[in-house]
Amino acid sequence: MAQPKAFLFDLDGVIVDTAHFHYQAWRRLANEKLGFDISEEFNESLKGVSRTESLDRILAHGNVTLSPAEKENLATLKNDWYVELINKMTPDDILPGINAFLEKTRLAGIKIGLGSVSKNAKPILERIGILSAFDAIIDGTKITKGKPDPEVFLKGAEELGASPDECVVFEDAVAGIEAGRRAGMKTVGIGQPDILTEADVVLANLNNMTIEDLRKALHF
Ligand code: BG6
Ligand code: MG
Protein backbone atom coordinates (compact mmCIF):
# COMPACT_ATOMS: atom_id res chain seq x y z
CA MET A 1 0.00 0.00 0.00
CA ALA A 2 1.28 3.52 -0.79
CA GLN A 3 2.63 5.46 2.17
CA PRO A 4 1.80 9.09 2.87
CA LYS A 5 5.13 10.94 2.98
CA ALA A 6 4.15 14.30 4.48
CA PHE A 7 1.39 15.70 6.69
CA LEU A 8 0.73 19.43 6.29
CA PHE A 9 -1.03 21.06 9.22
CA ASP A 10 -2.88 24.33 9.25
CA LEU A 11 -2.22 26.26 12.50
CA ASP A 12 -5.20 28.37 13.52
CA GLY A 13 -8.06 26.06 14.50
CA VAL A 14 -6.09 22.82 13.98
CA ILE A 15 -3.05 23.00 16.29
CA VAL A 16 -4.39 25.76 18.55
CA ASP A 17 -7.76 27.40 19.05
CA THR A 18 -6.60 30.77 17.75
CA ALA A 19 -9.43 30.74 15.17
CA HIS A 20 -11.54 31.93 18.09
CA PHE A 21 -9.08 34.75 18.89
CA HIS A 22 -9.11 35.92 15.24
CA TYR A 23 -12.91 36.08 15.41
CA GLN A 24 -12.81 37.94 18.74
CA ALA A 25 -10.39 40.57 17.36
CA TRP A 26 -12.25 41.04 14.04
CA ARG A 27 -15.57 41.25 15.88
CA ARG A 28 -14.18 43.92 18.22
CA LEU A 29 -12.97 45.87 15.19
CA ALA A 30 -16.37 45.61 13.46
CA ASN A 31 -18.21 46.59 16.66
CA GLU A 32 -15.95 49.42 17.84
CA LYS A 33 -14.63 50.92 14.61
CA LEU A 34 -17.12 50.02 11.87
CA GLY A 35 -20.48 50.07 13.67
CA PHE A 36 -21.79 46.60 12.83
CA ASP A 37 -21.53 43.05 14.10
CA ILE A 38 -20.21 39.90 12.45
CA SER A 39 -21.77 36.52 13.19
CA GLU A 40 -20.00 33.24 13.80
CA GLU A 41 -21.52 31.99 10.57
CA PHE A 42 -19.98 34.87 8.59
CA ASN A 43 -16.70 34.21 10.39
CA GLU A 44 -16.49 30.79 8.68
CA SER A 45 -15.79 32.67 5.44
CA LEU A 46 -12.80 34.43 7.10
CA LYS A 47 -11.06 31.26 8.30
CA GLY A 48 -7.85 30.54 6.40
CA VAL A 49 -8.08 33.85 4.55
CA SER A 50 -5.25 36.43 4.81
CA ARG A 51 -5.45 39.50 7.04
CA THR A 52 -6.02 41.99 4.21
CA GLU A 53 -8.53 39.78 2.41
CA SER A 54 -10.39 39.21 5.71
CA LEU A 55 -10.72 42.97 6.22
CA ASP A 56 -11.93 43.42 2.62
CA ARG A 57 -14.59 40.76 3.19
CA ILE A 58 -15.70 42.39 6.47
CA LEU A 59 -15.94 45.84 4.83
CA ALA A 60 -17.94 44.43 1.90
CA HIS A 61 -20.20 42.62 4.39
CA GLY A 62 -20.97 45.95 6.12
CA ASN A 63 -21.06 47.99 2.88
CA VAL A 64 -18.18 50.16 4.09
CA THR A 65 -15.62 51.72 1.74
CA LEU A 66 -12.29 52.93 3.10
CA SER A 67 -9.04 54.31 1.72
CA PRO A 68 -5.96 52.05 1.57
CA ALA A 69 -4.40 54.01 4.48
CA GLU A 70 -7.51 53.59 6.66
CA LYS A 71 -7.56 49.88 5.84
CA GLU A 72 -3.91 49.55 6.77
CA ASN A 73 -4.59 51.21 10.15
CA LEU A 74 -7.53 48.92 10.91
CA ALA A 75 -5.60 45.78 9.93
CA THR A 76 -2.78 46.86 12.24
CA LEU A 77 -5.20 47.56 15.08
CA LYS A 78 -6.84 44.15 14.66
CA ASN A 79 -3.43 42.50 14.72
CA ASP A 80 -2.43 44.41 17.88
CA TRP A 81 -5.58 43.13 19.62
CA TYR A 82 -4.97 39.62 18.27
CA VAL A 83 -1.34 39.63 19.48
CA GLU A 84 -2.54 40.68 22.97
CA LEU A 85 -4.70 37.54 23.00
CA ILE A 86 -2.04 35.14 21.71
CA ASN A 87 0.57 36.51 24.12
CA LYS A 88 -1.41 34.90 26.94
CA MET A 89 -1.17 31.43 25.38
CA THR A 90 0.76 28.54 26.94
CA PRO A 91 1.50 24.91 25.91
CA ASP A 92 -1.85 24.03 27.54
CA ASP A 93 -3.56 25.75 24.61
CA ILE A 94 -2.45 23.06 22.14
CA LEU A 95 -5.65 21.33 21.01
CA PRO A 96 -6.48 17.84 22.36
CA GLY A 97 -4.59 14.98 20.73
CA ILE A 98 -2.19 17.15 18.71
CA ASN A 99 1.02 16.37 20.62
CA ALA A 100 0.34 12.63 20.56
CA PHE A 101 -0.62 12.70 16.87
CA LEU A 102 2.53 14.63 15.90
CA GLU A 103 4.60 12.06 17.79
CA LYS A 104 2.83 9.14 16.02
CA THR A 105 3.44 10.89 12.70
CA ARG A 106 7.14 11.27 13.45
CA LEU A 107 7.45 7.63 14.56
CA ALA A 108 5.75 6.51 11.33
CA GLY A 109 8.51 8.30 9.38
CA ILE A 110 6.09 10.85 7.93
CA LYS A 111 7.39 14.42 7.56
CA ILE A 112 5.57 17.22 9.40
CA GLY A 113 4.92 20.60 7.78
CA LEU A 114 3.02 23.74 8.74
CA GLY A 115 0.88 25.39 6.07
CA SER A 116 -0.53 28.62 7.46
CA VAL A 117 -1.15 32.02 5.88
CA SER A 118 -0.61 33.69 9.27
CA LYS A 119 2.31 36.02 9.79
CA ASN A 120 2.07 35.21 13.51
CA ALA A 121 2.61 31.46 13.00
CA LYS A 122 6.21 31.16 14.20
CA PRO A 123 5.78 33.21 17.40
CA ILE A 124 2.70 31.12 18.24
CA LEU A 125 4.56 27.81 17.72
CA GLU A 126 7.42 29.12 19.88
CA ARG A 127 5.05 30.27 22.60
CA ILE A 128 3.30 26.87 22.82
CA GLY A 129 6.64 25.07 22.65
CA ILE A 130 6.24 22.94 19.49
CA LEU A 131 8.30 24.81 16.88
CA SER A 132 10.87 22.00 16.76
CA ALA A 133 8.21 19.37 15.88
CA PHE A 134 8.04 20.78 12.33
CA ASP A 135 10.35 19.75 9.48
CA ALA A 136 9.15 22.70 7.38
CA ILE A 137 7.23 25.86 8.16
CA ILE A 138 5.40 27.72 5.45
CA ASP A 139 3.68 30.81 6.83
CA GLY A 140 2.34 34.18 5.75
CA THR A 141 5.86 35.54 5.34
CA LYS A 142 6.73 32.95 2.66
CA ILE A 143 3.70 33.11 0.37
CA THR A 144 2.16 35.64 -1.97
CA LYS A 145 -1.31 34.11 -2.25
CA GLY A 146 -3.58 33.11 0.66
CA LYS A 147 -5.87 30.10 0.77
CA PRO A 148 -7.86 28.92 -1.21
CA ASP A 149 -4.83 29.28 -3.48
CA PRO A 150 -2.77 26.06 -3.17
CA GLU A 151 0.60 27.91 -2.96
CA VAL A 152 1.11 27.39 0.80
CA PHE A 153 0.67 23.61 0.58
CA LEU A 154 2.62 23.18 -2.67
CA LYS A 155 5.57 25.02 -1.08
CA GLY A 156 5.27 22.76 1.98
CA ALA A 157 5.37 19.62 -0.17
CA GLU A 158 8.37 20.95 -2.06
CA GLU A 159 10.30 21.77 1.12
CA LEU A 160 9.55 18.30 2.47
CA GLY A 161 10.50 16.53 -0.76
CA ALA A 162 7.07 14.99 -1.28
CA SER A 163 4.80 15.00 -4.31
CA PRO A 164 1.25 16.32 -3.79
CA ASP A 165 -0.30 12.84 -3.97
CA GLU A 166 1.93 11.78 -1.05
CA CYS A 167 0.64 14.63 1.16
CA VAL A 168 -2.28 14.96 3.55
CA VAL A 169 -3.62 18.39 4.56
CA PHE A 170 -5.28 18.97 7.97
CA GLU A 171 -7.59 21.99 7.90
CA ASP A 172 -10.45 23.61 9.82
CA ALA A 173 -11.32 26.14 7.09
CA VAL A 174 -13.43 25.81 3.96
CA ALA A 175 -10.78 27.88 2.10
CA GLY A 176 -8.05 25.58 3.43
CA ILE A 177 -9.76 22.39 2.26
CA GLU A 178 -10.16 23.98 -1.18
CA ALA A 179 -6.44 24.91 -1.16
CA GLY A 180 -5.48 21.33 -0.28
CA ARG A 181 -7.70 19.88 -2.99
CA ARG A 182 -6.38 22.33 -5.58
CA ALA A 183 -2.85 21.27 -4.59
CA GLY A 184 -3.84 17.69 -5.48
CA MET A 185 -3.59 16.47 -1.86
CA LYS A 186 -5.87 14.41 0.36
CA THR A 187 -7.69 16.51 2.93
CA VAL A 188 -8.76 15.93 6.52
CA GLY A 189 -11.28 18.46 7.82
CA ILE A 190 -11.13 19.25 11.52
CA GLY A 191 -14.56 20.47 12.52
CA GLN A 192 -18.09 19.89 11.32
CA PRO A 193 -19.00 17.72 8.31
CA ASP A 194 -21.85 20.05 7.30
CA ILE A 195 -19.35 22.94 6.95
CA LEU A 196 -16.29 21.09 5.59
CA THR A 197 -18.28 19.30 2.90
CA GLU A 198 -15.40 19.05 0.39
CA ALA A 199 -12.93 17.28 2.72
CA ASP A 200 -12.10 13.60 2.11
CA VAL A 201 -12.64 12.88 5.82
CA VAL A 202 -13.97 15.10 8.61
CA LEU A 203 -13.01 14.58 12.28
CA ALA A 204 -14.06 16.56 15.35
CA ASN A 205 -10.40 16.56 16.46
CA LEU A 206 -7.28 14.37 16.26
CA ASN A 207 -7.74 12.90 19.74
CA ASN A 208 -6.86 9.17 19.75
CA MET A 209 -6.48 9.11 15.96
CA THR A 210 -3.93 6.57 14.68
CA ILE A 211 -1.91 6.78 11.47
CA GLU A 212 -3.30 3.40 10.42
CA ASP A 213 -6.96 4.43 10.86
CA LEU A 214 -6.30 7.63 8.96
CA ARG A 215 -4.58 5.79 6.10
CA LYS A 216 -7.57 3.47 5.82
CA ALA A 217 -10.06 6.34 5.88
CA LEU A 218 -8.13 8.17 3.15
CA HIS A 219 -7.59 5.00 1.07
CA PHE A 220 -3.81 5.34 1.11
C1 BG6 B 1 -5.16 32.13 9.11
C2 BG6 B 1 -6.44 32.39 9.88
O3 BG6 B 1 -4.50 31.02 9.66
O4 BG6 B 1 -4.29 33.26 9.18
C5 BG6 B 1 -7.09 33.66 9.39
O6 BG6 B 1 -7.31 31.29 9.69
C7 BG6 B 1 -6.09 34.82 9.45
O8 BG6 B 1 -8.22 33.92 10.20
C9 BG6 B 1 -4.85 34.46 8.66
O10 BG6 B 1 -6.67 36.00 8.90
C11 BG6 B 1 -3.79 35.56 8.70
O12 BG6 B 1 -3.28 35.64 9.99
P13 BG6 B 1 -2.42 36.83 10.58
O14 BG6 B 1 -2.02 36.28 11.93
O15 BG6 B 1 -1.23 37.01 9.68
O16 BG6 B 1 -3.29 38.02 10.65
MG1 MG C 1 -7.38 27.39 10.26
Residue to mutate (ligand 1; options 12, 78, 144; most atoms within 8 A of CB): 12
pLDDT (0 to 100) of residue 99: 97
Residue to mutate (ligand 1; options 44, 79, 118, 137; most atoms within 8 A of CB): 118
Q: In the annotation, is 80 catalytic?
A: no
- Band of the pLDDT at 3, cuts 50, 70, 90? confident
Summarize pLDDT for 28-84 with one digit per residue, the tens. Answer: 999 999 999 999 999 999 999 999 999 999 999 999 999 999 999 999 999 999 999
Q: How do the residues of the chain divide into helix, strand and coil, expressed in percent and rounded to 5?
A: 45, 15, 40
User: What's the CA-to-centroid distance between 13 and ligand 2, angstroms?
Assistant: 4
Summarize pLDDT for 163-197 with one digit per residue, the tens. Answer: 999 999 999 999 999 999 999 999 999 999 999 99
Summarize pLDDT for 99-109 with one digit per residue, the tens. Answer: 999 999 999 99
Nearest CA to ligand 1 atom 1: 48
